[in-house]
Amino acid sequence: MASMSVKHAIAAAKKLRSLQERFNPGGSDIYPALMGDEAITALIPSGNPLSVHILMFTRALREQGTDEQYEKFGRRADNNEIIGTFAQTELGHGTYLRGLEARADYDRGTEEFVLNTPKLSSYKWWPGGLGQTCNYCIFVAQLYIDNEAKGMAMFVVQIRDEETHMPLPGVHVGEIGKKMGLNGVNNGFLGLKDYRVPRLNMLMRHQQVLPDGRFVKSPVSQVSYFPMVFVRCMVARQNSNYLAQAATIATRYSVIRRQSPIEEGQPEPKILEHLTQQMKVIPEIVTAVVYRLAAANLQNMYNETAEAVYRKDFSRLPELHALACILKVATSYDSTYGIERLRQACGGHGYLTAGNLGNIFAMAAPACTYEGENSVLYLQVGKILMKNWSQVLAGRELMPSMAYISECSKMTSFPQWTGSWECLLKAIQYACVGSIRLAFQSYNARVQSAQSQTAAVNYSGLELTKAAELHGRSYVAGNFYQQIVNSPNKHQRSPQFQKVLENMLELHLIQIFFRHLGDILRFIRITEDEISALQRRLEEVLKELRPDAVAITDAFDFNDKILSSALGCYDGNVYERLFEAALKHPLNRKSVPDFFEAHLKPFMKENADNAKKSKL
């Protein structure tokens, strides 16, 4: 598995390099973006063992290293002369980075760092490609000078010989074992014992250790978390695409599969004519579109912020961090659960490997955990919302993505219910702001009753999580609304296309409204008639979008190789492909399997003999 993945990943890397040289010679960005792309990921079904090299190792060298360090390590990494990974998580700690136990002690006598993983729990555990593929890594450790902790730092560490690939002395490296999916990624473990690296192997763009051991602090300590921010943006994009892939498969299958007449005596319809099937499939298509747009916005914001950070302007970092967290959580949760709903929408065949929905699920699901476990990131956003609420109370302006919070805070009550898109969007935002206010009050009451701030965060965790979740909904829905209704290029769209987009907006807003009806009713009075009217609109818009479902998923433009699904091929020959896949199964190579003589026959014979004996 691992060797096939490495082979495919290298083939993809070479192809992309040649494309880069042809279309963007000298440019640096297109190649990593393409290598992390869902197309590549899909073409390596057991996972890309080079992805952490491309997404994190090369980026961290560029963004956290000085120019000289980039020349020494980064250029070779970008050129794939060395392959690395990002080794941060340990057996004992992934979330709580201040609890990491790997240590780097500065030895001013030799101007080296001595790296150690002193306990079993401090072994690095999980880094992608670490098991067998990489010969370098970025080793994240607590920095100590004269035994005094200075916080986290990153070190470039060679772990294998460049010629023989043998682990170097002092390095204990290996594979962590079989996983639910992504088994080609060879996620690894790493222990270091008194492993020395030169002083200039510590990445020093933002913080430095001088030869005499003086420590120069980073102007903003969180900048060392920046590699994670990038991958959170990538998760938003990749997971939207996994959902789009699954939605394409389920939609194509749903217009081929026929089952159960709707009217007595009528022929069996395509299953997509059943309203409940529409409700399983069409909202997922729309969710994929909505998230793709949000992820594209996030990516632009990342690019602008990364440029600024490179120039040591850190002012936009907090907003990017908040948005990257919330979109990473929203897209990973919604794609994971959405893909499972889509699998169920394909009935029994959805459970076959040939449909590929299991593998897409296995690719999407771990993003709920890696790069910041989702509940932990919800709490992180919840804390940021608390801070922003204090700003609101102090009459200060908020960051643009939270400006709606100030607006809603000024409303003494919710305006007259109209059911318009603006009204639905406002209802979601209003419920979010109400939840922020309640969480803030609970948190403050706890602090005032002598709880520490961190304990108060823990005990207000459910309310903080709710506020964060609704903030995600508000941001995503607000972004979609702007792009459909207020986009400057709206007038270049044909009326038919605009109508499809507006139907998607209608469905998205109503769907989110129903999902959070309980949260909304806590803050807004809505009558039963008003809710029933929305129910009718939901049924209507599903019907309206039904004829466009195939065209929208075709527009995602996944070719058959990427979908790798007997259920989701463009030509719709589902049954032929399912049969073809079944016939390829190794058990079908022989008419009589080996286990017949070895096990089954003696078992049945023994039973027959026993039965005969008991009759005698």
Ligand X SMILES: Cc1cc2nc3c(=O)[nH]c(=O)nc-3n(C[C@H](O)[C@H](O)[C@H](O)COP(=O)(O)OP(=O)(O)OC[C@H]3O[C@@H](n4cnc5c(N)ncnc54)[C@H](O)[C@@H]3O)c2cc1C
Ligand Y SMILES: CC(C)(COP(=O)(O)OP(=O)(O)OC[C@H]1O[C@@H](n2cnc3c(N)ncnc32)[C@H](O)[C@@H]1OP(=O)(O)O)[C@@H](O)C(=O)NCCC(=O)NCCSC(=O)CCCC(=O)O
Site for ligand X contains 325 (CB under 6 A): no
Q: Does 97 bind ligand Y (CB under 6 A)?
A: yes
Should residue 60 be labelled a site residue for ligand Y when binding is judged by CB under 6 A? no
Q: Nearest distance from residue 238's CB to ligand Y, in Å?
A: 8
Among 95, 420, 573, 607, binds ligand Y (CB under 6 A): 95
228 is a contact residue toward ligand Y (CB under 6 A): yes
Residue 133 contact partner, candidates ligand X, ligand Y, none, CB within 5 to 8 A by sort of partner:
none
Establish if 447 lies at the interface with ligand Y (CB under 6 A): no
* Distance, CA of 426 to CA of 437 (rounded, Å): 16
SS3 labels along 535-552:
HHHHHHHHHHHHHHHHHH
| Count of Cβ atoms closer than 10 Å to residue 125 Cβ | 22
Exactly one of 372, 434, 472, 568 binds ligand Y (CB under 6 A); that residue is 372
Instruction: Kindly identify the residues of this chain, within the stretch 149-188, that bind ligand X according to CB under 6 A.
Output: 182, 187
89 labelled binding-site residue: yes
Q: Choose, by CB under 6 A, the member of 132, 375, 406, 444 that binds ligand X.
A: 375
* Backbone φ and ψ of 144, nearest 5°: -120, 135
Site for ligand Y in 459-488 (CB under 6 A): none
Q: Binder to ligand Y among 83, 156, 157, 384 (CB under 6 A)?
A: 384
Spell out the alpha helix ranges (H) of 414-494: 421-448, 453-459, 461-485
- CA 395, CA 410: separation in Å to the nearest integer? 11
Place of tokens 């702007």: 482
Is 371 in the active site? yes
Residues 292-331 that bind ligand Y (CB under 6 A): 317, 321
Q: Report residue 138 as tokens.
A: 């970025």
Based on the shown chain and the rule CB under 6 A, indicate whether residue 376 belongs to the binding site for ligand X. yes
Give the DSSP H or E segment for 133: none
Tokens of residue 93, six digits: 């700690």
Choose among ligand X, ligand Y, none what residue 578 binds, the Cβ cut-off being 5 to 8 Å by kind: none
The DSSP 8-state label assigned to residue 177 in this structure reads -
Q: With binding defined as CB under 6 A, does residue 370 bind ligand X?
A: yes
Exactly one of 95, 222, 315, 532 binds ligand X (CB under 6 A); that residue is: 95
Marked catalytic residue, from 38, 112, 284, 371: 371
Q: Are 41 and 363 in contact (CB under 8 A)?
A: yes
Nearest alpha-carbon partner for 334 in 363, 301, 291: 291
Q: Which stretch binds ligand Y (CB under 6 A): 112-120, 221-229, 288-296, 531-539?
A: 221-229
225 binds, among ligand X, ligand Y, none (CB under 5 to 8 A by kind): ligand Y
Strand partners, 141: 153
**Cα separation, 243 vs 227, whole angstroms:** 25
Residue 366: CB minimum distance to ligand X, A: 4
Question: Does residue 418 have a known ligand-binding role?
Answer: no
Beta-ladder partners of 114: 105, 196
Rg of the Cα trace of the chain? 27
Partner that binds at residue 78, options ligand Y, ligand X, none, CB closer than 5 to 8 Å by kind: none
The least CB distance from residue 58 to ligand X, in Å, is 13
- Looking at the Cβ atoms of 73 and 370, the one nearer to ligand X is 370
Q: What is the DSSP letter of 24?
A: S
Q: Of 371 and 519, which has the nearer Cβ to ligand Y?
A: 371
Of the pair 94, 283, the CB lying nearest ligand Y is at 94
Token digits of residue 336: 């994971």
CA torsion 48-38-137-64 (nearest 10°) is 170
Q: Which helix (H) or strand (E) holds 148?
A: strand 148-158
Q: Which is nearer to ligand X, 380 or 388 (CB)?
A: 380
Which of ligand X, ligand Y, none binds 335 (CB below 5-8 Å, type-dependent)?
Answer: none
**C-beta of 433: minimal distance to ligand Y in Å?**
20
108 secondary structure, DSSP code: T
| C-beta of 58 vs 251, nearer to ligand X | 58
Residue 297: name the closest of 487, 57, 526, 37 by CA: 487
Q: Terminal CA-to-CA distance of the chain, rounded, Å?
A: 55
Return the one option of ligand Y, ligand X, none that residue 276 interacts with (CB less than 5 to 8 A, by type): none
Cα angle at 560 between 270 and 351, to 5 degrees? 60
Q: Which parts of this chain interact with ligand X (CB under 6 A)?
A: 52, 85-89, 93-95, 126-128, 182, 187, 366, 369-373, 375-376, 379
Residues involved in catalysis: 371
Q: Residue positions in the annotated binding site for FAD?
A: 89, 128
Q: Which parts of this chain interact with ligand Y (CB under 6 A)?
A: 51-52, 86, 88-89, 94-95, 97-98, 128, 222, 225, 228-229, 231, 317, 321, 370-372, 376, 380, 384
